[in-house]
């Protein structure tokens, strides 16, 4: 009986400790809600692809998704993407709003990276907007993908041709800071 009580006390301590860690609480409690996303024209030396080229690239995005996609090139007036930026808000996506109300930021990041086949995602600086951000290598694609989440937005930046996690994280943070309001 004494062993059972000690084990029970240990489980309660773990549950209380886990429950007090913000990464285990609902994402909706992770910061300000009601933020919006706008695609910036230029960030970190990358330029938004517009016009027919953007329409053609957008047509390649699979299926109907509430996330919006924007393609960027590292040369002015270029049409070949070197970075893909996508994002969603709880205003655009009722499913994201429900998930944020019941699941943690960690849960959202883990599911994203598993589905996107990202190797060994690592925590990187989410910046002053808060929430959480991780970056990892996309298997077989030659890209580093960074994903952030907060109370009302999710977004990712896939940087082609860069293999350094922290360099890609710095670029993703610049995109997030320029796009999320």
Give the H or E element holding residue 166: helix 165-179
Residue 4, pLDDT above cutoff 50: no
Question: What value does the mean pLDDT of the chain take?
Answer: 83
More confident residue, 139 or 17: 139
More confident residue, 114 or 5: 114
11 confidence band (pLDDT: 50, 70, 90): very low
Rounded CA separation 47/41 (Å):
6
* Distance, C-alpha 62 to centroid of its chain: 18
Q: Tokens at residue 120, please?
A: 């060994």
Write the pLDDT tens digit of every residue in 56-101: 999 988 776 788 999 999 998 899 999 999 999 988 898 988 988 8
Q: Tokens at residue 86, please?
A: 């996508």
Rounded CA separation 120/161 (Å):
18
Contact between 27 and 100 (Cβ < 8 Å): yes
The DSSP symbol for 135 reads: E
Q: Where are the domains of the chain?
A: 27-179
Residue range 106-128: mean pLDDT, rounded? 93
Residue 1, pLDDT above cutoff 90: no
Residue-level pLDDT at 32: 62
Q: Which residue has the tokens 């400790």?
A: 17
Contact between 104 and 150 (Cβ < 8 Å): no
Residue-level pLDDT at 139: 83
Give the H or E element holding residue 176: helix 165-179
- The pTM of this model reads 0.81
C-alpha closest to that of 88 among 30, 155, 133: 155
Report phi then psi at 24, rounded to 5.
Answer: -100, -15
């Amino acid at each position: 009986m004494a062993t059972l009580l000690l084990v029970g006390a240990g489980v309660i301590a773990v549950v209380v400790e886990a429950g007090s860690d913000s990464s285990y609480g609902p994402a909706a409690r992770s910061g300000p809600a009601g933020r919006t996303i706008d695609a910036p024209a230029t960030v970190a030396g990358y330029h938004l692809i517009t016009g027919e080229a953007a329409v053609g690239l957008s047509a390649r995005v699979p299926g109907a998704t509430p996330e919006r996609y924007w393609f960027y090139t590292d040369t002015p007036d270029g049409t070949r993407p070197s970075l893909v930026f996508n994002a969603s808000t709880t205003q655009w996506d009722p499913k994201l709003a429900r998930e944020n109300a019941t699941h943690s930021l960690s849960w959202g990041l883990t599911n994203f990276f598993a589905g996107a086949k990202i190797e060994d995602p690592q925590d990187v600086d989410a910046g002053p907007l808060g929430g959480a951000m991780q970056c990892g290598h996309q298997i077989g694609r030659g890209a580093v993908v960074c994903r952030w989440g907060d109370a009302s937005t999710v977004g990712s930046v896939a940087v082609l041709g860069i293999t350094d996690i922290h360099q890609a994280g710095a670029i993703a943070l610049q995109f997030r800071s320029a796009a999320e309001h």
